[in-house]
Amino acid sequence: MSLTVTGSINVDHVIRLPQFPRPGETLTGSDYRIVPGGKGANQAVAAVRAGAKTRMVACVGDDAMAGALLDGFAKDGINISAIDTINDVNTGVALIQVNESGENTIALAPGANAALTPEQLQRHISALHCEQLLLQLEIPLPTNLAAARQAKEQGARIILNPAPAQSLPDELLALVDMITPNETEAERLTGIAVADNAGADAAANALHARGIATVIITLGARGVWLSEHGHGRLIPGFTVQAIDTTAAGDTFNGALVAALQQQQALVPAIRFAQAAAAISVTRIGAQTSIPYKADIEAMLEQS
Protein backbone atom coordinates (compact mmCIF):
# COMPACT_ATOMS: atom_id res chain seq x y z
CA MET A 1 0.00 0.00 0.00
CA SER A 2 1.53 3.34 -1.06
CA LEU A 3 1.32 6.65 0.78
CA THR A 4 1.56 10.14 -0.69
CA VAL A 5 1.98 13.14 1.59
CA THR A 6 1.06 16.44 -0.08
CA GLY A 7 2.11 19.35 2.08
CA SER A 8 4.62 21.83 3.42
CA ILE A 9 8.37 21.90 3.90
CA ASN A 10 9.88 24.43 6.32
CA VAL A 11 13.15 25.35 7.92
CA ASP A 12 12.50 25.60 11.66
CA HIS A 13 14.35 28.13 13.81
CA VAL A 14 13.86 26.91 17.39
CA ILE A 15 14.80 28.72 20.61
CA ARG A 16 14.10 27.62 24.20
CA LEU A 17 12.86 30.29 26.63
CA PRO A 18 11.94 30.29 30.34
CA GLN A 19 8.47 31.50 29.33
CA PHE A 20 6.88 33.14 26.32
CA PRO A 21 7.62 36.88 26.11
CA ARG A 22 4.85 39.43 26.57
CA PRO A 23 4.40 42.15 23.92
CA GLY A 24 7.40 44.46 24.05
CA GLU A 25 9.39 42.12 26.29
CA THR A 26 12.83 40.73 25.40
CA LEU A 27 13.90 37.41 26.92
CA THR A 28 17.23 35.62 26.65
CA GLY A 29 16.85 32.07 25.37
CA SER A 30 19.09 29.09 24.90
CA ASP A 31 19.66 26.02 22.73
CA TYR A 32 18.96 27.81 19.42
CA ARG A 33 18.79 25.35 16.53
CA ILE A 34 17.98 25.32 12.82
CA VAL A 35 16.21 22.04 11.98
CA PRO A 36 14.06 20.62 9.16
CA GLY A 37 10.32 21.04 9.68
CA GLY A 38 6.96 21.76 8.07
CA LYS A 39 3.87 19.71 8.79
CA GLY A 40 3.95 17.88 5.48
CA ALA A 41 7.63 17.04 5.73
CA ASN A 42 7.38 16.07 9.39
CA GLN A 43 4.53 13.67 8.63
CA ALA A 44 6.33 12.17 5.66
CA VAL A 45 9.45 11.61 7.76
CA ALA A 46 7.39 10.11 10.58
CA ALA A 47 5.66 7.78 8.13
CA VAL A 48 8.82 6.54 6.41
CA ARG A 49 10.67 6.05 9.72
CA ALA A 50 7.70 4.04 10.97
CA GLY A 51 7.99 1.72 7.98
CA ALA A 52 5.73 3.25 5.30
CA LYS A 53 6.53 3.43 1.60
CA THR A 54 6.25 7.22 1.26
CA ARG A 55 6.26 9.79 -1.53
CA MET A 56 5.98 13.54 -1.04
CA VAL A 57 4.49 16.27 -3.25
CA ALA A 58 5.83 19.67 -2.16
CA CYS A 59 7.89 22.74 -3.05
CA VAL A 60 11.15 24.19 -1.74
CA GLY A 61 12.89 27.46 -2.59
CA ASP A 62 16.21 27.96 -4.34
CA ASP A 63 18.00 28.93 -1.10
CA ALA A 64 21.01 27.24 0.47
CA MET A 65 18.94 25.11 2.87
CA ALA A 66 16.81 23.41 0.22
CA GLY A 67 19.45 20.97 -1.01
CA ALA A 68 20.25 19.78 2.49
CA LEU A 69 16.55 19.24 3.20
CA LEU A 70 16.06 17.16 0.06
CA ASP A 71 19.17 15.12 0.82
CA GLY A 72 17.81 14.42 4.28
CA PHE A 73 14.43 13.27 2.95
CA ALA A 74 16.09 10.99 0.41
CA LYS A 75 18.38 9.55 3.08
CA ASP A 76 15.31 8.70 5.16
CA GLY A 77 13.87 6.88 2.17
CA ILE A 78 11.20 9.33 0.99
CA ASN A 79 10.56 9.43 -2.77
CA ILE A 80 11.36 13.09 -3.53
CA SER A 81 10.72 13.04 -7.31
CA ALA A 82 7.58 15.20 -6.88
CA ILE A 83 9.28 17.91 -4.79
CA ASP A 84 9.84 20.97 -7.01
CA THR A 85 12.35 23.80 -6.57
CA ILE A 86 10.79 27.25 -7.06
CA ASN A 87 13.13 29.97 -8.32
CA ASP A 88 13.51 33.32 -6.55
CA VAL A 89 11.60 32.15 -3.46
CA ASN A 90 12.77 31.01 -0.05
CA THR A 91 11.86 27.67 1.44
CA GLY A 92 9.14 28.05 4.08
CA VAL A 93 10.30 29.24 7.51
CA ALA A 94 8.91 28.63 11.00
CA LEU A 95 10.04 30.63 14.05
CA ILE A 96 9.40 28.41 17.09
CA GLN A 97 9.61 29.36 20.76
CA VAL A 98 9.58 26.54 23.33
CA ASN A 99 8.94 27.26 27.03
CA GLU A 100 10.06 25.30 30.09
CA SER A 101 6.91 23.16 30.00
CA GLY A 102 7.65 22.03 26.45
CA GLU A 103 4.80 24.09 24.97
CA ASN A 104 5.48 26.06 21.80
CA THR A 105 4.39 29.07 19.79
CA ILE A 106 5.02 29.14 16.04
CA ALA A 107 5.13 31.94 13.45
CA LEU A 108 5.16 30.86 9.80
CA ALA A 109 6.37 32.41 6.53
CA PRO A 110 5.02 30.11 3.76
CA GLY A 111 7.68 30.84 1.14
CA ALA A 112 7.73 28.12 -1.51
CA ASN A 113 4.81 26.31 0.14
CA ALA A 114 2.53 28.99 -1.33
CA ALA A 115 3.74 27.97 -4.81
CA LEU A 116 2.19 24.51 -4.46
CA THR A 117 -0.92 25.58 -6.37
CA PRO A 118 -3.41 23.27 -8.11
CA GLU A 119 -1.60 24.07 -11.37
CA GLN A 120 1.75 23.06 -9.86
CA LEU A 121 0.13 19.91 -8.49
CA GLN A 122 -0.87 18.84 -12.00
CA ARG A 123 2.81 18.26 -12.78
CA HIS A 124 2.75 15.32 -10.40
CA ILE A 125 -0.67 13.80 -10.95
CA SER A 126 0.83 10.29 -10.99
CA ALA A 127 1.90 10.75 -7.36
CA LEU A 128 -1.79 10.94 -6.42
CA HIS A 129 -2.35 7.41 -7.70
CA CYS A 130 -1.88 6.02 -4.21
CA GLU A 131 -3.71 4.00 -1.58
CA GLN A 132 -3.48 6.70 1.10
CA LEU A 133 -3.22 10.49 0.74
CA LEU A 134 -2.22 12.50 3.83
CA LEU A 135 -2.96 16.25 3.84
CA GLN A 136 -2.48 19.21 6.22
CA LEU A 137 -3.20 22.95 5.96
CA GLU A 138 0.17 24.68 5.39
CA ILE A 139 -0.31 24.74 1.60
CA PRO A 140 -3.06 26.57 -0.35
CA LEU A 141 -6.52 25.17 0.41
CA PRO A 142 -7.46 24.79 -3.29
CA THR A 143 -4.44 22.49 -3.67
CA ASN A 144 -5.64 20.24 -0.87
CA LEU A 145 -9.06 20.11 -2.52
CA ALA A 146 -7.55 19.27 -5.92
CA ALA A 147 -5.28 16.60 -4.44
CA ALA A 148 -8.14 15.02 -2.50
CA ARG A 149 -10.34 14.93 -5.61
CA GLN A 150 -7.65 13.36 -7.79
CA ALA A 151 -6.65 10.74 -5.23
CA LYS A 152 -10.28 9.92 -4.37
CA GLU A 153 -11.00 9.24 -8.03
CA GLN A 154 -8.23 6.63 -7.90
CA GLY A 155 -9.79 4.99 -4.84
CA ALA A 156 -7.40 6.38 -2.22
CA ARG A 157 -8.21 6.79 1.46
CA ILE A 158 -8.00 10.52 2.26
CA ILE A 159 -6.61 11.44 5.69
CA LEU A 160 -6.72 15.12 6.69
CA ASN A 161 -4.83 16.58 9.62
CA PRO A 162 -6.64 19.97 9.78
CA ALA A 163 -3.69 21.94 11.13
CA PRO A 164 -3.06 24.81 11.60
CA ALA A 165 -6.64 25.38 12.77
CA GLN A 166 -8.97 27.01 10.26
CA SER A 167 -12.50 26.69 8.94
CA LEU A 168 -12.89 24.30 6.03
CA PRO A 169 -15.45 24.00 3.22
CA ASP A 170 -17.88 21.09 3.15
CA GLU A 171 -16.60 20.37 -0.35
CA LEU A 172 -13.24 19.26 1.09
CA LEU A 173 -14.60 17.51 4.17
CA ALA A 174 -16.94 15.42 1.99
CA LEU A 175 -13.86 13.88 0.35
CA VAL A 176 -12.17 13.02 3.66
CA ASP A 177 -12.32 9.46 5.05
CA MET A 178 -10.40 10.14 8.28
CA ILE A 179 -9.75 13.43 10.08
CA THR A 180 -7.27 13.95 12.93
CA PRO A 181 -7.78 17.33 14.65
CA ASN A 182 -6.53 18.29 18.11
CA GLU A 183 -8.94 19.96 20.57
CA THR A 184 -8.40 23.46 19.17
CA GLU A 185 -8.82 22.34 15.56
CA ALA A 186 -11.93 20.29 16.36
CA GLU A 187 -13.52 23.31 18.05
CA ARG A 188 -12.62 25.55 15.10
CA LEU A 189 -14.28 23.12 12.68
CA THR A 190 -17.41 22.46 14.73
CA GLY A 191 -17.91 25.32 17.19
CA ILE A 192 -18.00 22.74 19.99
CA ALA A 193 -15.53 23.02 22.89
CA VAL A 194 -13.55 19.80 23.45
CA ALA A 195 -12.96 20.20 27.18
CA ASP A 196 -13.98 16.66 28.12
CA ASN A 197 -15.12 13.36 26.61
CA ALA A 198 -18.65 14.65 26.09
CA GLY A 199 -17.33 17.59 24.11
CA ALA A 200 -15.07 15.32 22.06
CA ASP A 201 -18.02 13.04 21.30
CA ALA A 202 -20.22 15.96 20.26
CA ALA A 203 -17.48 17.44 18.03
CA ALA A 204 -16.86 14.03 16.45
CA ASN A 205 -20.56 13.62 15.69
CA ALA A 206 -20.61 17.06 14.08
CA LEU A 207 -17.76 15.97 11.82
CA HIS A 208 -19.54 12.70 11.02
CA ALA A 209 -22.53 14.82 9.97
CA ARG A 210 -20.28 16.52 7.42
CA GLY A 211 -19.51 13.18 5.80
CA ILE A 212 -16.38 11.92 7.59
CA ALA A 213 -16.52 8.27 8.64
CA THR A 214 -13.58 8.19 11.08
CA VAL A 215 -12.76 11.01 13.51
CA ILE A 216 -9.64 10.90 15.69
CA ILE A 217 -9.33 13.86 18.07
CA THR A 218 -5.94 14.05 19.77
CA LEU A 219 -6.22 15.19 23.38
CA GLY A 220 -2.56 15.55 24.41
CA ALA A 221 -1.73 13.67 27.60
CA ARG A 222 -5.37 12.52 27.97
CA GLY A 223 -5.07 10.32 24.89
CA VAL A 224 -7.20 10.12 21.74
CA TRP A 225 -10.95 10.21 21.14
CA LEU A 226 -11.77 7.72 18.38
CA SER A 227 -15.20 7.87 16.79
CA GLU A 228 -16.29 5.62 13.94
CA HIS A 229 -19.72 6.11 12.39
CA GLY A 230 -20.97 7.81 15.55
CA HIS A 231 -19.55 5.39 18.11
CA GLY A 232 -16.85 7.03 20.27
CA ARG A 233 -14.34 5.89 22.86
CA LEU A 234 -11.28 7.25 24.66
CA ILE A 235 -7.94 5.56 23.98
CA PRO A 236 -5.59 6.59 26.83
CA GLY A 237 -2.13 7.86 25.95
CA PHE A 238 1.34 7.28 27.36
CA THR A 239 2.71 9.20 30.34
CA VAL A 240 6.12 10.76 29.65
CA GLN A 241 8.07 13.85 30.71
CA ALA A 242 7.62 16.26 27.80
CA ILE A 243 10.47 18.63 26.99
CA ASP A 244 9.35 19.80 23.51
CA THR A 245 5.94 19.13 21.92
CA THR A 246 7.00 20.41 18.49
CA ALA A 247 5.90 17.92 15.78
CA ALA A 248 4.14 15.59 18.24
CA GLY A 249 0.94 15.80 16.22
CA ASP A 250 2.85 15.32 12.98
CA THR A 251 4.60 12.28 14.40
CA PHE A 252 1.23 10.84 15.44
CA ASN A 253 -0.22 11.31 11.96
CA GLY A 254 2.76 9.91 10.09
CA ALA A 255 3.03 6.87 12.36
CA LEU A 256 -0.73 6.28 12.16
CA VAL A 257 -0.81 6.07 8.36
CA ALA A 258 2.34 3.93 8.42
CA ALA A 259 0.66 1.43 10.77
CA LEU A 260 -2.45 1.39 8.58
CA GLN A 261 -0.27 0.83 5.50
CA GLN A 262 1.18 -2.19 7.26
CA GLN A 263 -2.34 -3.58 7.72
CA GLN A 264 -2.71 -2.90 11.44
CA ALA A 265 -6.29 -2.54 12.67
CA LEU A 266 -7.28 1.00 13.63
CA VAL A 267 -7.00 0.78 17.43
CA PRO A 268 -3.53 -0.88 17.40
CA ALA A 269 -2.51 1.67 14.75
CA ILE A 270 -3.57 4.49 17.07
CA ARG A 271 -1.60 2.97 19.97
CA PHE A 272 1.44 2.71 17.67
CA ALA A 273 1.01 6.38 16.72
CA GLN A 274 0.57 7.42 20.36
CA ALA A 275 3.82 5.67 21.29
CA ALA A 276 5.62 7.46 18.44
CA ALA A 277 4.29 10.85 19.55
CA ALA A 278 5.17 10.14 23.19
CA ILE A 279 8.77 9.42 22.22
CA SER A 280 8.93 12.59 20.12
CA VAL A 281 8.01 14.92 23.00
CA THR A 282 10.96 13.64 25.04
CA ARG A 283 13.32 14.96 22.34
CA ILE A 284 14.18 18.42 20.97
CA GLY A 285 13.02 19.73 17.60
CA ALA A 286 10.72 18.59 14.82
CA GLN A 287 12.23 15.95 12.51
CA THR A 288 15.13 15.53 14.93
CA SER A 289 12.61 14.17 17.48
CA ILE A 290 10.79 11.68 15.25
CA PRO A 291 11.46 8.03 16.20
CA TYR A 292 12.08 4.97 14.05
CA LYS A 293 9.90 1.86 13.97
CA ALA A 294 12.17 -0.12 16.30
CA ASP A 295 11.97 2.64 18.95
CA ILE A 296 8.18 2.66 18.75
CA GLU A 297 7.88 -1.11 18.99
CA ALA A 298 10.23 -1.13 22.00
CA MET A 299 8.02 1.40 23.79
CA LEU A 300 4.90 -0.63 23.08
CA GLU A 301 6.56 -3.75 24.45
CA GLN A 302 7.44 -1.92 27.67
CA SER A 303 3.92 -0.55 28.20
Ligand-binding annotation for 144, yes or no, is no
What's the rounded Cα separation, in Å, for the pair 55 and 141? 20
Ligand-binding annotation for 249, yes or no, is yes
**For the chain, what percentages of helix, strand and coil (3-state, to nearest 5) are there?**
40, 25, 35
Ligand-binding annotation for 219, yes or no, is yes
CB 246 within 8 A of CB 290: no
What's the rounded Cα separation, in Å, for the pair 138 and 154? 24
Ligand-binding annotation for 250, yes or no, is yes
Catalytic choice (76, 88, 201, 250):
250
Ligand-binding annotation for 289, yes or no, is yes
Ligand-binding annotation for 10, yes or no, is yes
What's the rounded Cα separation, in Å, for the pair 133 and 233? 25
Ligand-binding annotation for 39, yes or no, is yes
Ligand-binding annotation for 295, yes or no, is no
Ligand-binding annotation for 223, yes or no, is yes
Our answer to whether residue 71 is catalytic in this structure is no
Ligand-binding annotation for 234, yes or no, is no
- Find residue 92's DSSP bridge partners: 10
- Find the Cα–Cα–Cα–Cα dihedral 200, 274, 280, 48, rounded to 10°: -120
Provide the 10 A C-beta neighbour count for residue 35. 19
- Phi first, then psi, for residue 50 (nearest 5°) are -85, 5
Ligand-binding annotation for 251, yes or no, is no
Ligand-binding annotation for 87, yes or no, is no
Q: In residues, how long is the chain?
A: 303
Ligand-binding annotation for 138, yes or no, is yes
CB 5 within 8 A of CB 47: yes
Q: Amino acid identity, residue 121?
A: L
Ligand-binding annotation for 102, yes or no, is no
**Secondary structure (DSSP) of 265-299:** -HHHHHHHHHHHHHHHTTSSSSGGGPPPHHHHHHH
Binding positions for ATP = 182, 218-223, 249-250
Binding positions for K(+) = 244, 246, 280, 283, 285, 289
Binding positions = 10-12, 38-42, 138, 182, 218-223, 244, 246, 249-250, 280, 283, 285, 289
Binding positions for substrate = 10-12, 38-42, 138, 250
Catalytic sites, residue numbers: 250
